[in-house]
């Protein structure tokens, strides 16, 4: 089975939804089946996968009336046998209460399109202006070639919104901001809706990503991964990257235009095109690294940067693929310690660290047969892969589940089930999505990271204790994977990143179980800024700002008065959670 991975930091929407207390609408009971996702249930029931938000709200309302129904607090996690309530019509549940607003009057760089272009839910589309902003390919050459970034501006639902919007940017680099935030998160997540009540929200599809023009998505990656898993191709065969590069070069793509400097300048250009005098910025994962470049350019543009929120922080002086062995080890040590300090977890799963690494060693010596099921967006099976799972696959599956604030609660139980009962289905389920098509822009990911080589002046030892030996392969293979791709798509190198502008108020959030961007990175960035507030959400994974109501309130406090320290005392009341499967 393929072991070489390219670590792409994803915001997995491991977010908490406040259960609705309104009366449940008319509907019918549904029992979750194997391979069900909320989106696939919504597709079958209503013909629209994004109608899953209606199922969440209706089910949570029903759970308030009848405890036999599931409370859905994470839209990415449902389990076989759980009882849901499907409203008769998806429209019975309003996703966002639209406020009548005049049509947008933006600058000449704006090209309006229907919001269906970006597959937005109807309620979000009704509240939004969708279009493309034409930006310079190189901002140092304003009269030179241009490209287009897709933009969604969602108008505030409040009666008296603040004049400065919140720009929200996804990670990767190369993931789709529009698909994640207005497409999935905003319809379902209370904390996002609370922000929308205070100000407009702007979602810029970073240059080169899925909805922007050009889109640097590479065909062939998924097929390569599948063939490698079957043993039909070498793991290190990157011919699909070569083919993608050649195609994009023939189409006139200038890879030197796809880096964090140009990406950051786009944020200001979009703000000015939309007519905003100032704006706030939120970034998650790679979006935090982009946010640091946005801070650095604060004095170079007309629009003013009011505040910044960095969630799951990438330090600017490391290459995060190569340090993955150390970051996942840091998260695992936290998980093991949290379980040991929790009376029930420690009683049920004693000496979890030893059990886990014994399991990894066992499977590296004697791999087990498994079937991976690859599905499409509707949950239909596209491919089955007969393969062997070894200890590295257990490590990779654990790494993957640590990302998700809800899924990582189950890890002690799953580790013990595998060790005591040889139950490895969770490993197959965790690694299978790596073989499914997503809107990631591989050919944007590569130049953005490769251009930063001069900035990568620190290594793992700068931040962490030595990694677990069983985890070393993760960083070695991911780092080598990126180096190989940098040889294929060669770009000019940026100057080394430096903290010069340090006076923008910045909120920094970390998750204690984040396997790729842990607390030490956030602490380092915070130490370089004049006004930085650094918080950790216990038990959270990759992306913490919207995990807890407490974190949501910290965000609202910070946005209201960025110059004042937000009250983070509620974080001390949060205990790391574990799922015992009961």
Cα 475 to Cα 466: distance, rounded to the nearest angstrom: 12
Q: Binning pLDDT at 50, 70 and 90, where does residue 21 land? A: very low
| Strand-strand pairing, 368-375 and 381-389 | antiparallel
Give tens-digit pLDDT for 471-504: 999 999 999 999 999 999 999 999 999 999 999 9
Span 163-167, mean pLDDT? 99
Instruction: Answer whether CATH 2.30.130.10 is correct for domain 27-92.
Output: no
Which position has the higher pLDDT, 378 or 558? 558
**Residue 56 C-alpha from the chain's centroid:** 20
pTM: 0.87
CB-CB neighbours of 168 under 10 Å: 27
Residue 9 has what pLDDT?
Answer: 40
- Distance in angstroms (rounded) separating the CA atoms of residues 146 and 257: 10
**Alpha-carbon span 103 to 538, nearest angstrom:** 43
Cα separation, 308 vs 286, in Å, equals 14
Mean pLDDT, all residues of the chain: 89
Other C-beta atoms lying within 10 Å of the C-beta of residue 161: 17
Stated length of the chain: 582
Reported as a pLDDT band with limits 50, 70 and 90, residue 91 is: low
* pLDDT tens-digit series, residues 234-253: 888 999 999 999 999 999 99
pLDDT at position 124 is 95
Average pLDDT over residues 280-286: 98
On whether the 110-213+253-318+497-573 domain is CATH 3.40.50.1820, my answer is yes
Tokens (6 digits) for 350: 């004693």
The secondary structure of 188-227 as a DSSP string is H-HHHHHHHTTS-EEEE--TTSTTSBS--PPTTHHHHHHH
Percent of the residues in the chain that have a pLDDT greater than 90, as a whole number:
71
- CA distances to 34, 53, 235, 375, 428 from 37, rounded to whole Å, are 9, 12, 30, 11, 16
pLDDT of residue 81: 77
pLDDT of amino acid 35: 58
- What pLDDT sits at residue 103? 54
Residue 175 has pLDDT above 90, yes or no: yes
Q: Taking the C-alpha atoms of 293, 294, 300 and 306 in order, what is their torsion angle to the nearest 10 degrees?
A: -150
Strand partners, 308: 281, 506
203-to-56, 182, 282, 470 alpha-carbon distances in Å: 24, 8, 10, 39
Terminal-to-terminal C-alpha distance of the chain: 33
Sort residue 432 into left (φ over 0), alpha (ψ -120 to 50) or beta: alpha
What sign for the dihedral angle of Cα 529, 532, 536, 541? negative
Domain boundaries, the chain: 27-92, 110-213+253-318+497-573
């Amino acid at each position: 089975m393929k072991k070489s991975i390219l670590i792409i930091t994803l915001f997995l929407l491991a977010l908490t939804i406040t259960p609705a207390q309104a009366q449940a609408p008319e509907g019918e009971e549904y029992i979750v089946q194997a391979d069900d996702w909320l989106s696939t249930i919504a597709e079958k029931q209503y013909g629209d996968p994004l109608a899953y938000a209606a199922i969440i709200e209706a089910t949570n309302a029903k759970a308030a009336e009848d405890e036999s129904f599931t409370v859905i607090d994470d839209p990415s996690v449902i389990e076989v046998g759980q009882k849901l309530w499907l409203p008769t019509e998806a429209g019975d549940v309003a996703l966002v209460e639209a406020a009548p607003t005049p049509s947008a009057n933006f600058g000449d760089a704006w090209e309006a399109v229907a919001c269906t272009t970006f597959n937005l839910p109807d309620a979000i589309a009704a509240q939004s202006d969708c279009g493309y902003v034409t930006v310079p390919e190189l901002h140092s050459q304003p009269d030179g070639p241009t490209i287009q970034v897709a933009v969604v501006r969602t108008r505030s639902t409040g009666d008296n919104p603040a004049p400065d919007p919140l720009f929200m940017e996804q990670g990767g680099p190369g993931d789709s901001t529009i698909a994640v935030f207005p497409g999935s998160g905003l319809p379902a997540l209370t904390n996002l809706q609370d922000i929308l009540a205070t100000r407009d929200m702007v979602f810029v599809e970073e240059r080169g990503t899925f909805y922007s023009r050009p889109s640097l998505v590479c065909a062939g990656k998924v097929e390569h991964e599948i063939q490698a898993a079957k043993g039909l191709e070498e793991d290190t065969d990157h011919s699909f990257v070569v083919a993608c590069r050649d195609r994009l070069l023939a189409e006139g793509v200038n890879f030197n235009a796809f880096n964090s400097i140009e990406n950051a300048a786009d944020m200001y250009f979009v703000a000015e095109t939309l007519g905003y005098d100032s704006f706030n910025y939120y970034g998650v994962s790679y979006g935090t690294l982009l946010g640091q470049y946005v801070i650095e350019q604060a004095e170079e543009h007309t629009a003013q940067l009011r505040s910044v929120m960095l969630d799951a922080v990438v330090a600017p002086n490391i290459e995060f693929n190569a340090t993955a062995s150390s970051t996942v080890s840091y998260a695992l040590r936290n998980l093991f310690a949290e379980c040991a300090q929790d009376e029930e977890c420690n009683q049920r799963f004693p000496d979890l660290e030893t059990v886990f690494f014994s399991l990894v060693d066992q499977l590296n010596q004697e791999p087990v047969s498994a079937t991976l099921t690859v599905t499409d967006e509707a949950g239909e099976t596209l491919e089955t892969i007969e393969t062997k799972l070894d200890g590295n696959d257990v490590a990779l599956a654990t790494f993957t589940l640590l990302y998700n604030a809800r899924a990582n609660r189950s890890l002690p139980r799953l580790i013990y089930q595998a060790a005591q009962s040889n139950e490895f289905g969770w490993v197959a389920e965790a690694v299978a999505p790596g073989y499914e098509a997503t809107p990631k822009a591989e050919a944007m990911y590569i130049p953005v990271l490769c251009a930063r080589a001069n900035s990568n002046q620190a290594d793992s030892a700068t931040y962490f204790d030595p990694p677990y030996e069983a985890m070393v392969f993760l960083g070695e293979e991911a780092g080598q994977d990126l180096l190989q791709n940098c040889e294929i798509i060669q770009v000019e190198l940026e100057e080394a990143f430096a903290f010069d502008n340090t006076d923008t108020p910045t909120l920094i959030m970390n998750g204690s179980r984040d396997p790729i961007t842990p607390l030490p990175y956030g602490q380092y960035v915070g130490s370089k800024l004049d006004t930085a507030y650094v918080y950790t959400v216990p038990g959270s994974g990759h992306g913490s700002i919207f995990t807890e109501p407490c974190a949501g309130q910290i965000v609202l406090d910070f946005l209201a008065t960025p110059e004042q320290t937000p009250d983070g005392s509620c974080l001390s009341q949060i205990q790391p959670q574990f799922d015992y499967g009961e």
